[in-house]
Every structure is written in C-alpha cells, then in structure tokens.
C-alpha cells in the first residue's frame, strides 16, 4: 500500500494556483524528499495532508484513508513536524507530550513511549522545564517528539533542521534513519539538498505548484549529463587545446584548466590522452560529479527561463 | 465516531492552563468583584428594598456572581484560543483527530468550569457581607452553565475573528462589559426610565442575571421561564456562531 496517494490535487488562493493537479504516490516505508524553492507549494501540499488546508479539487489519502472523508483515521496515521517553532508557553516538555498523546487518544499506557522519546531525543534532562525556557534546538526536538507521540506510520518533516546546529542535525538524522528502518515512512522537505541526497531514496521536486520530477535518487542524479574535469597546470605546460576539446573549456582561475565533459560521450581516458598529446602537463586533477544541487538547479531554473 | 479521550485531554489542558495562573484567573476576579461589593454597599443604603423583601446587598450579590461568571468565561476561551493562534501552538490541536465539535466542547467546557469557580469564589467571599441563600440549587446551576457556556462560545468567536489583542480587548470592553453592567446587576431595571427599561429586555445578560437571582432568592423581575427560554436561545445562537466559524475553518484552516 502507498503511504501517501495524491490524485489531481489542486489548490488555489484566488488567482494564485498554489498546487496544480499534483499526482504523487509515496510507497510505504520509503524515505522521501519533497524539494522545491520557496513558494513552490510544498507547505500547501503538507498542510492538505495534515488537514490544515482544504484542497480546491482532487484527492489525498494517507495509508488509504482520505484526508477529508476519513480525516480521523488519516490524522491518526500521520505525524507532522511543522516548520515554525510553535510551542505552548504554559507547559513543561513532559506535559506537552502527555497532552499531545492524549489528543490522539492515548493515556497512561503511552508513558513508556514518551519516556523513550524524551531519552532518544536528548530531552530527558529538560522534561520538567517549561517550553519558553528552552533553546531553539531543544524546542525543535520537542516538536519532533510531539509529532511521534502516537507512533505514526507516516512522518512528515517540514524543514526540520532549519536553524539547527551540526551536532543536533546529525543526531536527528540518525534518529530518522532508525525510524525508517523500523518501517516508518519519512517525508522530508529541506533546503539543505545534501541532506536530501544523503538521506532519501526517492526525490520529488515541486516548482510553482507543479510536480517537476518524482523519481529514484539514482535515476535523478544520472539525468544530469555533465561533469567537470579540473586540472592544476604545471608552469611549463602548453596551453593549446586540441580542437576536440576547445568547445568543452569553461572559464577557470589562472593556472587551471576546466573542462565540461559529457558523462557518456566524453571518456576521461581519451580526454587525458588528447591533452598529453597536445603537450598539456598538469600536477593534479579533480573530477566533479554532479550532485542533487546541480540537478535541482537545472530542473527549477528550466521553468524560470520560460517566464 | 468520536475521540472522547482527545476531547477530554483538550478540556483538561484548558482547565490546567487557567489553574496554572490561578491568581490571575480566579483570585483577581473574585477580589475585583468584592471591591464592587464594598463600594456599592458603602454608598447605597443596605435597607433599601430592591424587590419585595430583598435589601440592596442581597439583591446585588447574585448579580455580581453572574457578572463575574460571564466575564471570566469569555476571558478564558478568548484569551486561550487567541494566544494559541498567535503562538502557533493551536496547530497541535488542529493536527490531532479531534473534531470541531470536540474543540468547541472542550473550550466551552473549560470556560464553564472557570466561570463557575469564580462565581463560587465570589459567592463564598460575599457571604462575609451578607448571606445569600440558594433556594433553587439546580436552577442556579442551569443558569450558571447557560451563561458561562454562552460567553465561552462568544469568547471562541472573538478569538477566531480577532487579528490582534486589540480586537479581543475591544470586544470585551465595548460589548461584554457594557452589556453586563447594564443587565440589572446593580439596579432593578424597573428603576430605569421607560426607554432604558424596554432596551434592557433586549440585553440577553439581563435574563441570565434575573434567572440566577430567582434561583438564589426565589424572586425576580420577570417570569423565570422567560429568563430560562431567552438564556437557552442565546446559548444556541452563540454556540451556532462559534461552531459555524470552527467548521468553516475560519482563520484556523485555510
């Protein structure tokens, strides 16, 4: 079964089309990244799934439960870590978790799980501290704990590491990996593309309300056809490139040669032989394979060029 | 299908919230009302008959109890929901499998509890000035629940509609306070000029006060059945308004 199923989902605010006929299926148990620039519609999509926003048309379901018709079951299956650092200033960390657990219908029987969450997220020592006395990072951990009080099989993290230091970020990702290994579906939105690249198997990119891509990470990365070969030239090196490589040269600092090579058509061995034959000598070389950042830029820039 | 435990937790959260600041939410209103009692009992002769066989102090106390209940029930739901909206923590309730009816019932339920706690506090403290019997306890409870739940619902309405604290404050100071002051708490509406006496009949708070006063003293300005009917009607109107906004998701869900 799919953790999330979205069919022809649209949302408009007056003349603004926030989402335009989105079709998306996220398999159960996956670690999924939902990327896109600001205003792409990511938060609108998440809010529709969470029941905070009502779609103009189309359908969305969580583990088979329609978010409008079977909203209680849908919400019970979903945990959302919101982007904003919202907190209730009246209560301590433990009280917040107890209340949130109660909202989902869990009583004292859930106490052991709440203790485990406090421990795992490094909140045990702060469990009796009121929320307004916590640092930003601690508040972020509480938000994550709150989203997990009812052990939701599907977890959405909306920019969970915004403003979080490196150590906590690593801790959070280890925790999320562990949850995913236990069968939870994790859906992540982030502006840190390296995080998405490291963590997620499948990546979808939204741009101006439209789903630009939805595919496996490997396939997505292989779509970018270019890589860069950077050579550190020796002082005695010649500078006349063979004709076959002239068009592939791109601007580089003095003393370096930078070539943009096609991943499949330009074989590195042949390029190096051609350079050697042309008398180009170098002391070091680096090959830069494209990452998600390049693919993301290419996909989201493409649209902008059509404006 | 209902999520009773979810509703119960939200109700508990709302009660817990105001108990955490009980000096502000319970003690202060009781003391404020006692100050009214002290001042009015000093300047108006206690021997003055407001209703047949009822002196001024005995007449005043049930009215003050209702006024305290009304104002605190409104303050509870309006400040709690609006603060949650401003802080963003209302999202924790909106994400949970709790229906709009359950949200309504929890907020209004907590407003009823706070209103009745303050009302009881005022009654107990006022007994130091003059003992006010409660001749019809069940009826008193019915009026207490009707007035606090109506104002709890109106508090929800103002918290949903408001965009800033100024709006809540305006609703409280320009609607709730004048209506409660002009509801026959401090005087019999029969002492008013004919126009204002007639106008008072359009003030729903008057029916809360008169009905509650009957429950305590066994005597009232209008028939208690009329007070009960109007109070119930006002409860329905204010609840319908609050539920309509919640079900539409106005300012809560986009």
- Per-residue pLDDT in tens (0 to 9) along chain B, 254 residues: 789 999 999 999 999 999 999 999 999 999 998 898 888 877 776 667 777 777 888 888 999 999 999 999 999 999 999 999 999 999 999 999 999 999 999 999 999 999 999 999 999 999 888 888 899 999 999 999 999 999 999 999 999 999 999 999 999 889 998 888 888 888 888 888 888 888 889 999 999 999 999 999 998 888 999 999 999 999 999 999 999 999 999 999 98
Nearest residue on chain A to B84, judged by CA atoms? A88
Chain A residues within 8 A of B20 when measuring between CB atoms: 90
Are B87 and A53 inside 8 Å of each other by CB? no
Q: What is the CA radius of gyration of chain A?
A: 24
Looking at the DSSP assignment, which residues form a beta bridge with residue A185? Answer: A154
Q: Is A125 exposed, middle or buried (0-12, 13-18, 19+ CB in 10 A)?
A: exposed
Are A53 and B93 inside 8 Å of each other by CB? no
Measured between CA atoms, how close is A64 to chain B, in angstroms? 16
Q: Tens digits of per-residue pLDDT, A62-110? A: 999 999 999 999 999 999 999 888 888 889 999 999 999 999 999 999 9
Cα separation, A217 vs A199, whole angstroms: 10
Which of A51, A89, A105 is nearest residue B87 as measured by Cβ atoms?
A89
Cβ(A177)–Cβ(A193) under 8 Å? no
Neighbours of B210 (CB within 10 A): 29
CB contact, 8 Å: A14 with chain B? Answer: no
Cα separation, A3 vs A227, whole angstroms: 35
Are B92 and A84 inside 8 Å of each other by CB? no
CB contact, 8 Å: B3 with chain A? Answer: yes
Measured between CA atoms, how close is B13 to chain A, in angstroms? 7
At residue A108, the pLDDT reads 92
CB contact, 8 Å: A271 with chain B? Answer: no
Chain B residues within 8 A of A107 when measuring between CB atoms: 5
Cα separation, A157 vs A97, whole angstroms: 18
Are A50 and B17 inside 8 Å of each other by CB? no
CB contact, 8 Å: B167 with chain A? Answer: no
What sign has the CA pseudo-torsion B44, B45, B48, B51?
positive
Chain A residues within 8 A of B84 when measuring between CB atoms: 88
Cα separation, A202 vs A220, whole angstroms: 9
Q: Model confidence at A304, in pLDDT bands (50, 70, 90)?
A: low
Measured between CA atoms, how close is B10 to chain A, in angstroms? 7
**Six-digit token pair at B44?**
């108006």
The residue ranking higher by pLDDT, B144 or A169, is: B144
Looking at the DSSP assignment, which residues form a beta bridge with residue A57? Answer: A10
CA A26 to centroid of chain Cα atoms: 14
Are A52 and B20 inside 8 Å of each other by CB? no
Are A73 and B97 inside 8 Å of each other by CB? yes
Phi and psi, residue B37, nearest 5°: -60, -45
């Amino acid at each position: 079964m799919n953790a999330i199923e979205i069919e022809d989902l649209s949302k408009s605010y007056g003349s603004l089309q926030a989402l335009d006929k989105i079709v998306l299926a996220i398999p159960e148990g996956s670690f999924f990244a939902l990327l896109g620039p600001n205003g792409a519609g990511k938060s609108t999509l998440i809010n529709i799934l969470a029941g905070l926003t009502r779609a103009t048309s189309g359908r969305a379901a969580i583990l088979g439960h329609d978010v409008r018709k079977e909203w209680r079951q849908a919400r019970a299956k979903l945990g959302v870590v919101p982007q904003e650092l919202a907190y209730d200033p009246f209560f301590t960390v433990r009280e917040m978790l107890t209340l949130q657990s109660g909202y989902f219908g869990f009583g004292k029987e859930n106490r052991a799980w709440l203790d485990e969450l406090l421990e795992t997220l490094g909140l045990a020592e702060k469990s009796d501290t009121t929320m307004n006395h916590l640092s930003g990072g601690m508040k972020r951990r509480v938000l994550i704990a709150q989203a997990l009080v009812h052990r939701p099989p599907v977890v959405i993290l909306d920019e969970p590491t915004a403003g979080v230091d490196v150590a906590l970020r690593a801790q959070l990702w280890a925790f999320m990996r562990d949850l995913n290994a236990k069968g939870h579906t994790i859906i992540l939105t982030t502006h840190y593309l390296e995080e998405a690249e490291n963590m997620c198997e499948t990546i979808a990119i939204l741009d101006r309300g439209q789903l630009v891509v939805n595919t496996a990470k490997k396939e997505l990365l292989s779509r970018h056809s270019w890589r860069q070969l950077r050579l550190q030239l020796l002082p005695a090196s010649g500078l006349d490139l063979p004709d076959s490589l002239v068009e592939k040269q791109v601007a580089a600092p003095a003393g370096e040669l930078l070539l943009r090579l096609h991943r499949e058509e330009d074989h590195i061995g042949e390029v190096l032989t051609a350079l050697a034959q042309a008398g180009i000598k170098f002391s070091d070389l680096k090959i830069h394979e494209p990452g998600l950042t390049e693919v993301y830029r290419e996909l989201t820039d493409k649209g902008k060029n059509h404006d | 299908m209902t999520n009773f435990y979810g509703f119960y937790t939200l109700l508990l959260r709302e009660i817990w919230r105001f108990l955490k600041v009980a000096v502000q939410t319970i003690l202060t209103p009781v003391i404020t009302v006692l100050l009214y009692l002290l001042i009015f009992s000093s300047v108006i002769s206690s021997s003055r008959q407001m209703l047949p066989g009822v002196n001024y102090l005995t007449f005043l106390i049930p009215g003050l109890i209702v006024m305290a209940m009304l104002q605190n029930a409104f303050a509870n739901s309006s400040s709690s929901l609006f603060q949650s909206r401003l802080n963003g923590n209302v999202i924790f309730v909106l994400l949970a499998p709790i229906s709009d009816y359950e949200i309504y019932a929890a907020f209004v339920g907590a407003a009823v509890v706070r209103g009745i706690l303050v009302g009881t506090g005022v009654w107990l403290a006022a007994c130091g000035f003059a003992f006010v019997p409660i001749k019809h306890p069940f009826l008193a409870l019915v009026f207490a629940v009707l007035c606090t739940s109506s104002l709890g619902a109106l508090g929800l309405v103002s918290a949903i509609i408001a965009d800033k604290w100024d709006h809540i404050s305006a609703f409280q100071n320009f609607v709730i306070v004048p209506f409660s002051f002009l509801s026959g708490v401090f005087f019999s509406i029969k002492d008013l000029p004919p126009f204002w006496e007639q106008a008072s009949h359009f003030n729903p708070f008057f029916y809360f006060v008169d009905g509650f006063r009957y429950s305590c003293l066994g005597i009232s300005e209008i028939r208690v059945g009329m007070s009960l009917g109007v109070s119930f009607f006002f409860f329905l109107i204010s609840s319908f308004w609050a539920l309509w906004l919640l079900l539409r998701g106005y300012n809560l869900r986009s």
